[in-house]
Structure 1
Amino acid sequence: MIYLLLILLTAAVAPFAIEHYRIAMSDGRRGSAPGQFVELSQGVTHYHLTGPADGPLVVCVHGLTTPSFVWTPLASALNDLGFRVLVYDLYGRGYSDRPDALHDKIFFNQQLDDLLGKLEIQSPFHLIGYSMGGAISAGFAATYPARVRRLVLLASAGTSVIEGPLLHFIRNRGIVGKWLMLAAYPFQLRRGIRAECESVPVLPEISEGQEAQLRFRGFIPAVLFSLRGILFKPLEGEHMTLRRNGLPVLAIWGGKDTVIPASAMGRMAAWNREATHEVIEDAGHGLPYTHTAEILEYVTAFLPAPEGDDWGHDQ
């Protein structure tokens, strides 16, 4: 009986102990990282600001498990065309801090608002969001309509809640849900990365970098905070606000996406009849890094060309 209790106690404690002993994100770890860092109200944020200083600004927001490096191919291509591009690591991912807080719309709005303030960016900019970053971007644009010129959503979350018995339990069972998240999520993420690599060509630095997030303390809790926050409910009100404000919106979907299927466009279209939708039939969920050329073609057709852009610039 004692042995059984010890086994049960070990099973109960192990996921929390493993999380505690994961690598902490620190100044030492950031020392060799590319890009720059800034102290914001909720912690340190890692960012890259690249491209011609007088180019129209494009801000890119990554997804649930993918740090800002997923934007590298697209950002480089946009720079070559004359755009200035800002990418950054959301809290809990990449080289940014891991604050212990609910990752809801207010939380993510604050991070981006703080970052723009520190960089003294005041003029309106284009905003691109990928997966969960699409939900964050839609929320930011709905909250600050005068700051966003055009919005691009890639395989965007926020049209429905990704559900299932396991996710429902994790979202709604407090500390027990957190225990299950810590215990099961590393296996789920690795399996998803392998499945993507088997279905489409993925650059090693993308897949390896995504899996490497599991080594750092605070990453898995950040995913959980987002599941309980920005991803907890559909963003119907935000998308209806975008339509009322007349913000141009382009949504691009992957025809073979099993994470956020292209059928989600129907719900978004019902909320915002003015949005433009495109489908890349052979694409899965990794649009910005598996189908960069196609995304670039759609994005550059949607955004005003830099040479004909007469808006003011901050950077």
Structure 2
Amino acid sequence: MPCLSELSELSEHPAFRLAFGVAGAACFGTFVLWRSIHGSLELHGPPHIPSPRDAAMPALSEDEVRQLPYPSDALPGARDVQSPYGSTRVYEWGPADGRRLLLIHGISTPSIALTGLAYSLVERGYRVMLFDLFGRGYSSGPSPSTHQYDSALYTSQILLCLQSSPIPWTSFTLIGYSLGGAIAADFTSYFPNLVEGLVLVASGGLIRTEHISWKSRLLYSTGGLLPESLIERLVAKRLWTGPVEARSIEPEIATASTSSSSDHDEPKGGLRSHAVYTSSNIVLLPENPYSTVSHVVDWQIIHHQGFIPAFISSIRYAPIHNQHQRWKKIADNIRNGTGKLNQVWLVLGEIDPIIIADELVEDAQATFGEDIVHIKIVKGSGHEVAIDRASEIVDVVEQML
């Protein structure tokens, strides 16, 4: 074995230095590659976030399954549509030869929020399709670190749902509620040859940005001012209803200043966190006392790891604000005879604290033109108009078609 002096002399030899340098560079390169792969996995995470069906349901007891606010067999015609984005839960039923209606729910409550509307339409002879938006209900969803929950993602999801049907959906009416209305209008602007009717219920899309407070701008900013994990915790806390009255069941975008001492001091307007529904105890599924709006939201917070990230990404990137150009495109298509659509209906709650009826009517008429847009104001109803006043929407569909 060489002594220390021999090793010292050897270390000064040019060949030794070269070999040591190569070995060191190789080790460093291996370390950098490992960190790159490891860091990429930490940054981007899995390709999609599993739904409660895969992540939570297997661990539940029979009693817990019976008490689910959103059972996996909640509606007829259930199927799970697989895609590179993850799986989408779809429901489709009604006469196969009936006129087709695609229903899109809002940002926080999954497709069962439109249960009453769907059954009422089927009773009138229509074929209906509902689906859970990515990150809600029993749909998984792409990781927000790799995909934005924007127009492109939601358009892709709609097309995946349509192509999964055993019957052709080459002509249909779109009924969108809240965020679903914004998505429906956006989709229609790109695919005029598919959509023959458009009903926007308490719809986002033209919500005035003046209603966004500085706190909400900070909370949902994309500049990295707050750690994403902290944002998720704050949003989950604000959405959580627990055993008390619901505080927030829609986007946390408040109005003007939120520094007032009382919630009642806040002006109305915009997607905000307080007084969203007149009652959070509205039952969504007949004969299921556990299926209230608040219970379903809390269930998603607890059991769907993708719910809060999808919620946040939708606030940031979905077509909620400043969609005048896309809505004007719909009007241009109608006037040019492009596609099948010839009118647009808005159904609004008279006392909706999120979508202010007077504001949306003014902005929609300026964007569409009064000859294209038709308005129905539902007296005494708030943002839950699609849930508790389904008959009013059915009447609009009948009148339109």
Instruction: Please classify the TM superposition score into its range, dividing by the shorter chain length.
Output: 0.7 to 0.9
What is the aligned partner in structure 1 of residue 394 from structure 2?
296
Q: Is residue 202 from structure 1 mapped to residue 275 from structure 2 by the alignment? A: no
Change (3 A) 1:198 1:277: closer
Distance 2:308 2:298 in 1: 12
Whole-angstrom distance in 2 between the partners of 1:73 and 1:296: 10
Tell me which moved more, 126-135 or 229-238: 229-238
1:27 aligns with 2:54: yes
Residues 144 and 198 of structure 1: is their aligned pair in 2 closer, same or farther, counting only changes over 3 Å? closer
- 1:36-72 Cα offsets, whole Å, 9 max, x none, are 1110231100010011111111000111101000111
CA shift for structure 1 position 233: 3.4
Q: 1:165 and 2:260 equivalent? A: no
- Tell me: CA distance 1:269–1:219, structure 2 relative to 1, closer, same or farther (3 Å): same
Cα distance change, pair 79–232 in 1 and its aligned pair in 2 (3 A): closer
Which of 165, 178, 181 aligns to 2:231? It is 181
State the alpha-carbon separation in 2 of the partners of residues 232 and 135 from structure 1: 6
**Which residue is equivalent to 2:180?**
133
Residue 238 (str. 1) matches residue 285 (str. 2):
no
3-state DSSP class of the match of 1:111? Answer: helix
1:213 aligned to 297, 300, 310, which one?
300
Q: Does 1:117 align with 2:163?
A: yes
Q: Distance in 2 between matches of 1:236 and 1:197?
A: 27
Q: Secondary structure at the match of 2:346?
A: strand
Counterpart CA distance in 1 for 2:292 and 2:196 is 29
CA deviation map 1:192-242 (0-9, x unaligned): 259456558721523121331111211111011111111463111111011
Q: CA deviation at 1:23?
A: 9.0
In the superposition, relative to structure 1, how do residues 209 and 117 fare at CA in structure 2: closer, same or farther (>3 Å)?
Answer: same
**Residue by residue, what CA displacement relative to the aligned partner does 1:147-206 show, whole Å, maximum 9, x if unpaired?**
000100000001024511222112224441634431222332231259456558721523
Residue by residue, what CA displacement relative to the aligned partner does 1:248-278 show, whole Å, maximum 9, x if unpaired?
2101111111111112221111100111111
Contact 2:102/2:174, CA 8 A, preserved across alignment: yes
Does the 8 Å CA contact 1:30/1:95 hold for their aligned counterparts?
no
Q: Structure 1: where are the runs of 5+ without partners?
A: 1-21, 305-315
Q: Distance in 2 between matches of 1:240 and 1:23?
A: 37
How many percent identity over aligned positions? 29
Partner of 1:80: 123
Equivalences, count: 283
TM-aligned CA distance change 1:236 to 1:226, over 3 Å: same
| More off after superposition, 146-155 vs 26-35 | 26-35
If the length of structure 2 is used for normalisation, what is the TM-score? 0.66
What SS does structure 2 have at the residue aligned with 1:145? coil
SS state at 1:63 partner: coil
- What is the one-letter code of the residue matched to 1:188? R
- The structure number with the bigger radius of gyration is 2
Q: 1:231 to 1:139 in 2, by over 3 A?
A: closer
| TM-score (ref. length: structure 1) | 0.83
What is the match of residue 198 of structure 2? 151
The answer to whether 1:99 aligns with 2:156 is no
Higher relative contact order (CA 8 A, sep 6+): 1
Matched, 1:266 2:378: no
